Every structure is written in structure tokens, then in C-alpha cells.
Amino acid sequence: MILAFDLYGTLFSTQIPGVPREVMDSWRRKQLEYTWRSTLMGEWRDFDEITRMSLRYVREKFNLQMGDEVLEEWRRLKPFPDVEALQNLEAELWVLTNGVERTVNQILRDAGLIHLFKGVFSAERVREYKPSTKLYKTFQGEVGEGILISSNPFDVAGAKRSGMKAVFVRRGEFTLADFMGLEPDSTVDSLWEIQRKLIG
């Protein structure tokens, strides 16, 4: 069994200590907007660049003095505590991410998690971001049929639309409407439930 985990928001928290929630939400939302716009315009910018561009946006919007050290913090995100559950999963684990492969490998190394994964499959490989069906289909073509595990409704919907199974990890507020009619095969409240739900 192949399990493909989303990274940002699913394995790792996208909150940075000291950055106000409102600023962080705006930054994250703009980051996603830029991935979508960049894909639609056929103008590839890697996720590190998208992250810098969206930081520039929030700086201008909120008139912040926040320096580039916050980008360093973004590269030192912390895993959610339930990531521990992955240690005992009897499956082939992958990371399926918008992130830059090198950057994500470094984040996984720093968190002592890299040995858990067979590999990182990045949007870089197809130069289109989630939820482009090209990404999920290429993953399945190259790695094999898998199940996406994500806390992002747009990610779940994209996988479903691409013929991939998907588990939604309920990490915080969400609305059912946000799946756009492409709902997950199952929903869990924590990664601890994965073993029981999927592997039994």
C-alpha cells in the first residue's frame, strides 16, 4: 500500500511562533493563490520563490518590518505531534508536495523524519501545482496507485478528481462545501487513526 502525505498543514504546522495569526493566514492564502495563478499562466515559479513573493505581499499589505529571517523560520516548521504515528505504519510512505524537493528533504532531515519516507514527489516534477490533475496522475503513473492523506480540502478534491483515493485529516476549521463536491473517502481527526482505518 502506497500512502502519499501532504506536507504543509498535514505533516507540518504552518504556524510560525511570533507571527500574528492574521498575518500568517494572509501569507498562507496568498502563497496558495500564487501557486494557482502561476500554474494557470504557465509561468513556473518554485515554491521557495512563491513563498518569498507572498511574504512580500503581506509585508506591503500589513506594512510590516518583518525581515527575511521569517523565511528561515518557514524552513524550520515543526511537525505535528501525531506524525509519530507514521513510525509504525505498514505501508510505503511518500511525501506529495508543492514544496521544493531539496527544501522538503532538508525539513524532513531536520525533524528526524526522513527515514520514514521512500521519497519526496514534488510539484516541480510536472511544473504544475496542486490541485492540477497532472501532479496526482504523474505520481500514480510513476510511483503507483496510492492514497493521498491531506488536511487541505483543495488537495483532497484534486486527488479525487484524478482518480486517487483520499483521506482528509481534520486539523482545524473546515467546511464541507470546500471540497467542491469531491469529498474524501474517509476523514480522520489524527494521523493515529490511519493505521486502523486503512490497514486494520
d(CA 127, CA 143): 17
| Residue (9 or 131) nearer to its own copies, CB | 131
Least Å distance, CB 100 to its own copies, is 18
Catalytic site includes residue 6: yes
> How far apart, in Å, are the Cα atoms of 76 and each of 47, 72, 103?
15, 7, 10
| Residue (37 or 197) nearer to its own copies, CB | 37
| Residue (61 or 109) nearer to its own copies, CB | 61
Q: Which residues bind its own copies (CB under 8 A)?
A: 29, 32-34, 36-43, 45, 53, 56-57, 59-61, 128-133, 154, 157-158, 161-162, 173, 175-178, 180, 182
Q: In 3D, which of 121, 154, 125, 129 has the Cα closest to residue 51?
A: 129
Query: Do the beta carbons of residue 157 and residue 182 sit within 8 Å?
Result: yes
Length of the chain: 200
| Residue (103 or 132) nearer to its own copies, CB | 132
| Residue (40 or 199) nearer to its own copies, CB | 40
Least Å distance, CB 139 to its own copies, is 15
What letter would DSSP give residue 171? -
Least Å distance, CB 152 to its own copies, is 11
Least Å distance, CB 136 to its own copies, is 10
Query: Do the beta carbons of residue 18 and residue 41 sit within 8 Å?
Result: no
Q: In 3D, which of 177, 180, 79, 199 has the Cα closest to residue 188?
A: 199
Query: Do the beta carbons of residue 79 and residue 113 sit within 8 Å?
Result: yes
Instruction: Out of 6, 46, 48, 189, pick the active-site residue.
Output: 6
Q: Look-up: residue for cell 497532472?
A: 134
Residue 169: in which H helix or E strand, if any? strand 165-169
* C-alpha cell belonging to residue 149: 492523506
Least Å distance, CB 37 to its own copies, is 5
What positions carry a catalytic annotation?
6
